Amino acid sequence: MPVRATPRRFAVGDTVPARTLTDLRGDPVAVPDPDRLLHLQFRRFAGCPICHLHLRSVARRHDEIAAAGVREVAVFHSSAADLLRHEPDLPFPLVADPDRALYREFGVEAAPRALLDPRAWPGIARALRHGTRAAARGAAAPPLTPEGGRLGLPADLLVAPDGTVAALRYGAHADDQWSVDEILAAARAARP
């Protein structure tokens, strides 16, 4: 399969070019991971109520995901400082990409439909309810003007150890991302 060199979207069967990213702790993150499947998830901005709620669901079942042979890595179009303020305790690597270089390379877009699509509204309402309760307990409130804006769309790629994209989803709206059950199903389907 050809290696992608353009900023178009990836497709199943494409090859992700090998590289090493650096997470918030300064640790290297190999993409692809040579030993297991890699769930490379592109989230929106640090403090995004939808992303925060989603990542908490992934964190709660992280042991189950890891047992399925999947390494989680989440990318945000925010600075490391903002990520540390909003997501300091997740059990998997977070990568700051405030310039959106990875977003462009992987074809992850921003668009008004992120918030205007009615399918996003129940997730937005759920996330705001949860965020309001968390803020009342002292958690950092979502930023009023997030880095990279509010219109980012999520994306999920499951990358095999050889770099082949085994499964993917480009979100149609802000709350269109894989659930943990979908991550596990994609991992099962990717196993030979």
From first to last of its 192 residues, the chain has per-residue pLDDT tens of 445 444 589 999 999 999 999 999 899 999 999 999 999 999 988 888 888 888 989 999 999 999 999 999 999 998 898 888 777 688 999 999 999 999 999 999 888 787 778 887 777 778 777 666 666 666 666 656 666 667 889 999 999 999 999 999 999 988 899 999 999 999 999 986
Q: What are the sequence ranges of the domains in the chain?
A: 19-190
Nearest to 184 by CA among 171, 167, 170: 167
Q: Decide if domain 19-190 falls under CATH 3.40.50.880.
A: no
> Is residue 135 within a helix (H) or strand (E), and if so which, with residue range?
helix 121-136
The pair phi, psi for residue 95, each rounded to 5°, is -120, 125
What is the distance between the alpha carbons of residues 119 and 101, in angstroms, rounded to a whole number? 28
Q: Tokens representing 42? A: 């592109």
Q: Where are the beta strands (DSSP E) in the chain?
A: 19-22, 28-31, 37-42, 70-76, 94-96, 155-159, 165-170
pTM of the model: 0.86
